[in-house]
């Protein structure tokens, strides 16, 4: 019986301590928000990255400039360590602007297209062929080869506008872009046209990467704007024998040298344990990569700025990473994780921002039920700052390799409604980012990193790690 009273006593002390800590935590987080909103540097840094560097596809000259920008930015911050971590990255170039038109009885209609990343070029003079419209990968897989051979395959499944979370809608149709050309090539198609990934009806084609296979001779593939897709669909319904003409000049080169860029504050209590916060420095070669993922990079950097501004000295080492090559290879992330493993580094948690610089809604956690429980234990505190979406979900591409090493992964979750208005298009420019929303996102990320640093997280063990 004495033991029971002792246990109950400990629980009561713990509850009182937690309640006492919450006002202290709320005040600290409030200071972080104040710093971000009154003297933050995220918007200024984003302007320099977008306007001074511009779009920055891996392997390009602009990607090299972006590395130097990130390193120089870290140098101004009085950090404990800065590093340019070498990695080899995918090098693909778009070449001359693409040209495409629909040839029907009513004449020639130009349509906006962008080559998909990793696509080969068309032959000199382009490709002209009949069009076969399909709405799923399975449809192509089930068609006899003679129906597909020699055709331009037109994938026209739209994003489902009824999903409140547009990333869910994106996930429901992005396979057309990622593996559509691969499956069509197996059946003898000569090219692929993919409806752009957006719920909007506009004239912006949305690029993105596609998978390749050394065992399959790849065919040219492009994204067509949603208005262009609607036009092609309409004309096909009137004239199934119409033709599509496509000209592209893209090509793939050997992997190029590049870098992840790292800045860190050394922990005062457990410096050997690392909490990483990051975004990806590369972007597609259209627009300025403002939301994808300039916003994430400057927010990760801003976490360190905020900690220094409020005088918070973390227990663990806090490391901000600008990852290279997320868009078409993920080689920066893989190199970072490999180096961490080689050095015996211990990453207890990772937070990634790669969903745009929009109004913060909360965080996803990729971890055990105990990890979710820990996140939910901060629910009342985070609710004061309108961070109410706390749930299991994906952390992010660049931090994902760290999960095998035991890190608990978190994904920053801003509002999703406008993200696919800009994603992978010419419209993704600095002017599309709202200053206050960007700063609120940086403060939200700093708040979560602060809580992770202050309170221990459960181990995120994989099923085979205990064996």
CA distance 300 to 136: 37
* Residue 299 near residue 291 (C-beta atoms within 8 A): no
Is-contact 325 86, C-beta < 8 A?
no
3 state SS of 151? coil
List of E strands, 368-407: 389-392
Question: Which of 446, 466, 460, 365 shows the shortest CA–CA distance to 25?
Answer: 446
Point out the residues that are catalytic: 326
Query: 411-427 burial string, b = 16+ CB within 10 Å, else e?
Result: bbbbbbebbbbbbbbbb
Comparing C-alpha atoms, which of 454, 453, 456, 439 is closest to residue 301? 439
Closest Cα partner for 362 from 336, 321, 384, 390? 390
Assign 412 to helix, strand or coil: strand
SS3 202: coil
């Amino acid at each position: 019986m004495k033991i029971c009273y002792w246990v109950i006593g400990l629980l009561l002390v713990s509850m009182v301590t937690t309640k006492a800590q919450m006002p202290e935590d709320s005040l600290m987080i409030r200071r972080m928000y104040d710093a971000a909103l009154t003297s933050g540097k995220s918007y200024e840094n984003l302007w320099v990255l977008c306007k001074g560097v511009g779009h920055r596809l891996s392997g390009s000259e602009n990607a090299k400039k972006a590395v130097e920008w990130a390193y120089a930015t870290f140098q101004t911050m009085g950090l404990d360590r800065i590093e340019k971590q070498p990695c080899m990255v995918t090098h693909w170039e778009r070449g001359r602007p693409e040209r495409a038109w629909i040839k029907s009885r009513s004449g020639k209609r130009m349509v906006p297209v962008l080559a998909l990343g990793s696509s080969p070029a068309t032959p000199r003079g382009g490709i002209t062929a009949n069009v076969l419209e399909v709405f799923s990968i399975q449809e192509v897989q089930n068609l006899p080869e003679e129906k597909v051979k020699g055709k331009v395959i037109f994938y026209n499944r739209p994003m489902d506008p009824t999903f409140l979370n547009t990333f869910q809608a994106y996930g429901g149709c992005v396979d057309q872009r990622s593996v559509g050309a691969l499956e069509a090539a197996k059946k003898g198609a000569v090219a692929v046209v993919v409806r752009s990934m957006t719920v909007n009806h506009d004239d912006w084609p949305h690029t993105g990467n596609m998978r390749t296979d050394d065992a399959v001779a790849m065919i040219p593939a492009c994204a067509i704007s949603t208005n262009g897709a609607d036009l092609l669909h309409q004309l096909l319904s009137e004239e199934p024998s119409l033709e599509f003409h496509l000209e592209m000049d893209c090509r793939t080169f050997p992997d190029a040298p590049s870098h992840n860029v790292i800045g860190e504050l050394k922990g005062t209590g457990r410096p050997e344990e690392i909490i990483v916060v990051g975004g990806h420095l590369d972007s597609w070669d259209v627009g300025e990569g403002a939301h994808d993922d300039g916003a994430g990079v400057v927010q990760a950097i801003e976490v360190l700025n905020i900690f220094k501004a409020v005088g918070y000295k973390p227990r663990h080492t806090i490391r901000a990473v600008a990852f290279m090559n997320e868009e078409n290879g993920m080689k920066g992330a893989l190199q970072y994780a490999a180096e961490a493993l080689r050095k015996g580094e211990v990453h207890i948690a990772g937070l990634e921002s790669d969903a745009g610089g929009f109004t913060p809604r909360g965080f996803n956690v990729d971890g055990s039920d105990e990890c979710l429980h820990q996140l939910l234990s901060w629910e009342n505190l985070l609710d004061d700052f309108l961070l109410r979406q706390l749930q299991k979900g994906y952390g992010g591409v660049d931090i994902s390799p760290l999960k095998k090493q035991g890190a608990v992964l978190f994904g920053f979750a801003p509002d999703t409604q406008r993200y696919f208005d800009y994603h992978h298009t010419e419209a993704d420019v600095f002017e599309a980012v709202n200053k206050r929303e960007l700063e609120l996102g940086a403060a939200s990320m700093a708040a979560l990193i602060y809580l992770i640093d202050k309170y221990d997280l459960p181990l995120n063990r994989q099923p085979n790690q205990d064996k």
